[in-house]
Structure 1
Amino acid sequence: MNDTAHAAPGSAHALDSARTLWDLLARRAALSPDRPVLLQDDRSLTFGELHDRAERVAAGLHDLGVRPGTVVAWQLPTRLETAVLSFALTRLGAVQSPVIPFYRDREVGFALRESKAEFFAVPGVWRGFDYGDMARRLGAKGVFEAYDDLPDGDPAVLPAPPAEGESVRWIYWTSGTTSDPKGVLHTDRSLIAGGSCLAHALHLSEHDVGSMAFPYAHIAGPDYTVMLLLYGFPAVMFEQFALPDALEGYRRHGVTVAGGSTAFYSMFLVEQRKQPGVPVIPSLRLLAGGGAPKPPEVYHAVVREMGVQLTHGYGMTEVPMITMGSPDDTVENLATTEGRPPEGMEIRVVDGEVRLRGEAVCRGYLDPAQTAAAFDEEGFLRTGDLGLLTGSGHLVLTGRLKDVIIRKGENVSAKEIEDLLAAHPVVGDVAVIGLPDAERGERVCAVIERTPGAETAELTLAALTSYLRAQGLSVHKLPEQLEVVDALPRNETLRKVLKYKLRERFSGAGG
């Protein structure tokens, strides 16, 4: 049985017709040259400054040899300079491959090889890790630092900006269900379409102040930036986000809209509970986000204890914004659904699986075989998520076909961790599962069947995480819970491990 939802047509939005991201920035810079767009500590950029600085950096990159179509990977923190560099590459029509800063040798090496990156921008030593040294280990080409200083040149040397936004100019990375990341192909138009969904659903205005507490290299980076360009308001950037330290930045800049994912809602609630009844961010009126399951009780707690509205959405690297709750939705829909699709997004539920078609959907993957497997015969993207559509067109997610753990909005492949742990001398068999977690959305739990004769004392969480670190696994994928069992539950036919039984058994433990 198939169910299909279409967003209501007819809404007209001033800058949505921009062909490219550079076109969108140029239009906004002409409309609001002196209005701030990015704020960080005591620094800021206006729309006009972002446009002009990006042109000079584009000229500097051009002097280095970057041309339209050149693949440039960058692994940089959330900073004003990172946004400038990204828009400079947009101005040139280069192909960008953003890499999230906490990825390490395994993922970064794969991304550089698969994308055939000709240049790689790194921050040098950041948070105690030497990215330049990693780049040299990996044999990366065209490595340059882009933290405080960016390439600079005369914009007179630049070719004309790209005239169309349908070419693939973005390669984002998602772990999906496999050990190696998948390169997701996006165009300027698909990113503009995704950001427009977020912008128009939230009913924001030029008087709002947003916040970027997530990696700018995440697909949420352009998603959020498009919203700023469409509505002409600024956002505060956090290079290192942690509460309560970040609260000063929210308060100083008068942030009205915050969030990111379920984990962020929970962190704000923790701070609010330290002084009940005293607004933790006096200017705040809305929390918004997506990327991880949101329990209804979290919605009710935010509204009740923080006195602000909470709207939650559904997106993925392949489709940065699929549905979004709106502040004028009913309480029931805000608490129990992922919102409705925007204009131009079709949602079809086929045999329980959510499938998507629309301008915001990616153009596929770097691997043509993955692309062929991901789309059905009518061009709908198979999400692997299970859900249903309500009579009002709201989407309710009920589970996943994919064996992926979504921790703090980031995909973690269970198979990758299982493959590494299987090589440990005292691990007989292993199943890695995601368990519900109010703070993280899901937490990573390793359930291990020890080898005959192995002592339980040898299987400690600290020992296994140390082992995984030594194998090059990224920190955000490390298990936070360990359970040791005599035997993993299996079916009677192919002896497949029954992970649902493990989830039922251990959901109330740990965390």
Structure 2
Amino acid sequence: MTDTAHTLGTSRTLWELAERRAAHTPDRPVLLQEDRTLTFGELRDRAERCAAGLYGMGVRPGTVVAWQLPTRIETAVLSFALARLGAVQTPVIPFYRDREVGFALRESKAEFFAVPGVWRGFDHTGMAHRLGARGVFEAYGPESLPDGDPAVLPPPPANGTDVRWIYWTSGTTSDPKGVLHTDRSLIAGGSCLAHALHLTEDDIGSMAFPYAHIAGPDYTVMLLLYGFPAVMFEQFALPGALAEYRRHGVTVAGGSTAFYSMFLAEQRKLPPGEKLIPSLRLLAGGGAPKPPEIYHAVVREMGCQLTHGYGMTEVPMITMGSPDDTVENLATTEGRPPEGMEIRIADDGSGNGEVRLRGEAVCQGYLDPAQTAAAFDEDGFLVTGDVGHVTASGHLVLTGRIKDIIIRKGENISAKEIEDLLHEHPGVGDAAVIGLPDAERGERVCAVVEQPPGAEPLTLAAVTEFLRAQGLSVHKLPEQLEVVEALPRNETLRKVLKYRLRERYSVMK
């Protein structure tokens, strides 16, 4: 990390960090979107004017403001305006609908709700009124944000350890959880990402994920620390987005494993030796497991490096691969934690165990005190539900989730181990392995796969023969194969929703 980035990283609040960066490089761009550019100085100035407008509407320090907005320059300005006021903001993923949005509004007790109006054919304003939301206002276009004279504003917040953020878990198996963050926990998460990737002010990043995701501030902190810009994608789809990557000369792209696969699929349409994005030197991301074969394919076919990390809504950045790591570590681990992040492995005797975390980037808990009490152990470590081990070099290897361990005839089987091997099969585009109820075995192993275009249809016999040849133990071989057109995914980082697969195929045999 550069001296400047290290100094900026000591900022107590996100607003202080934005102010210090603006004072240091006011005219450098921070956000690029289509033909628009926002500089660090303009981010500070526009956010202050927006904060004054919000103050005139009645927003005060501690006021809870929900926002459900797409990845746009205006969204970032609004978020920093709320940070300037010291309001409590609760971002909501723009793809969520009545059930999830209503839950977030009720649980957070939001007093204001910013929406994009009609976006991608859906009337968010109508939904807000239908849900009885308070203080509804639209914030989408360049002239849509509240505006006022910054002279009316109270002093900016000085304490970075107060809860000012409520993020929401995906709620894939139950109601979402409201995760409590501070400015300092978000700065710590972004600093981990920035430190690991070794970026410079000459880089050009990209945000292809919802800004309302925990990755939004994670990435923005990195921009503020290093002083380089990112291209914002309101709607990410390939190949349509490629023109913007090329036009702006993006050097760093990514998002999650699904994004890597999408870039690879486009690369494979080109003649050998022709780069998909000529300026690209690094893919980076997290949010879902990364099979080693994906790493090797990206490096081999796209001609760039791939670094992968580990984070969650509760801890936006836990570990991150670094470009100067060994090939083995980049392919098979989630990287190393930064200074100040403690990882404890609750070893189950097999060399693996549940991953537990303690450090500044860890959230303060949940809106529900009972959930908070259940989430931390007696030493204050967050219990993640993920399983893995730490290598001698300090790299974290994840082997699955506790809920993702299949227990077949009393033997524990890692779904991730089988998935990683399946990704090496040329007839597999993506794969998810799940345990299904079985009267004789307790659970049986089921592999659900997507196939790439033009691939020969897969059979269970062909899959098990391939896995045997790869050295997989007989008791781990799938006993059921399902081939699907597309695995079910969420709308944020395109993570596979295994609960839907279990619901679909859970018939006792």
Match for residue 170 of structure 1? 165
Q: Deviations over 1:248-273 (max 9, x none)?
A: 10011110000000011001001111
Q: Deviations over 1:372-405 (max 9, x none)?
A: 0000010000000000010001000011024699
Distance 1:178 1:483 in 2: 11
Matched, 1:219 2:220: no
Distance 1:205 1:485, change over 3 A: closer
Matched, 1:237 2:257: no
Does structure 2 conserve the Cα–Cα contact (< 8 Å) formed by 1:71 and 1:117? Answer: yes
Distance 1:393 1:475, change over 3 A: closer
Match for residue 284 of structure 1? 280
Match for residue 375 of structure 2? 374
Distance 1:236 1:290 in 2: 19
**SS at 1:371 equivalent:** helix
The residue type equivalent to 2:104 in the other structure is A
Distance 1:336 1:78 in 2: 32
Which of 87, 90, 101 lines up with 1:94 in the alignment? 87
Distance 2:163 2:45 in 1: 25
Match for residue 440 of structure 2? none
Does structure 2 conserve the Cα–Cα contact (< 8 Å) formed by 1:338 and 1:395? Answer: yes
Match for residue 394 of structure 1? 395
Match for residue 446 of structure 1? none
RMSD, aligned CA: 3.0
Match for residue 199 of structure 1? 194
Match for residue 208 of structure 1? 203
Match for residue 33 of structure 1? 26
Shift of 1:14: 2.4
Distance 1:372 1:177, change over 3 A: farther
Which of 56, 64, 73 lines up with 1:71 in the alignment? 64
Matched, 1:343 2:339: yes
Which of 133, 150, 155 lines up with 2:150 in the alignment? 155
Match for residue 304 of structure 2? 308
Distance 2:318 2:66 in 1: 26
Distance 1:281 1:475, change over 3 A: closer
Q: Deviations over 1:257-315 (max 9, x none)?
A: 00000011001001111113211100000000000010000000000000000000000
Distance 1:39 1:111 in 2: 30
Q: Deviations over 1:93-124 (max 9, x none)?
A: 00000000011111000000000000000000
**What TM-score does the superposition give when structure 1 sets the normalisation length?**
0.79
Distance 2:343 2:147 in 1: 45
Matched, 1:488 2:508: yes
Matched, 1:325 2:321: yes
Distance 1:395 1:176, change over 3 A: farther
Q: Deviations over 1:42-73 (max 9, x none)?
A: 00100000000000000000000000000000
Shift of 1:178: 4.3
Which of 114, 124, 127 lines up with 1:131 in the alignment? 124
Q: Deviations over 1:70-95 (max 9, x none)?
A: 00000000000000000000000000
Alignment of 1:408-419 (within 5 A): none
The residue type equivalent to 1:28 in the other structure is R
**What TM-score does the superposition give when structure 2 sets the normalisation length?**
0.80
Runs of 4+ in 1 over 6 A off after TM superposition: 403-406, 436-439, 474-486
Structure 2 gaps of 5+ residues are 348-352, 406-414, 417-433, 435-443, 453-483, 489-493
Which of 90, 98, 106 lines up with 1:105 in the alignment? 98
More relative contact order, 1 or 2 (CA 8 Å, 6+ apart): 1
Does structure 2 conserve the Cα–Cα contact (< 8 Å) formed by 1:177 and 1:402? Answer: no
**SS at 2:363 equivalent:** coil
Q: Identity over the aligned pairs, expressed in percent?
A: 80
The residue type equivalent to 2:389 in the other structure is L
Distance 1:133 1:479, change over 3 A: farther
**SS at 2:399 equivalent:** strand
Distance 2:496 2:22 in 1: 37
Distance 1:231 1:484, change over 3 A: closer
Structure 1 gaps of 5+ residues are 1-9, 407-413, 415-430, 440-460, 466-473, 490-511
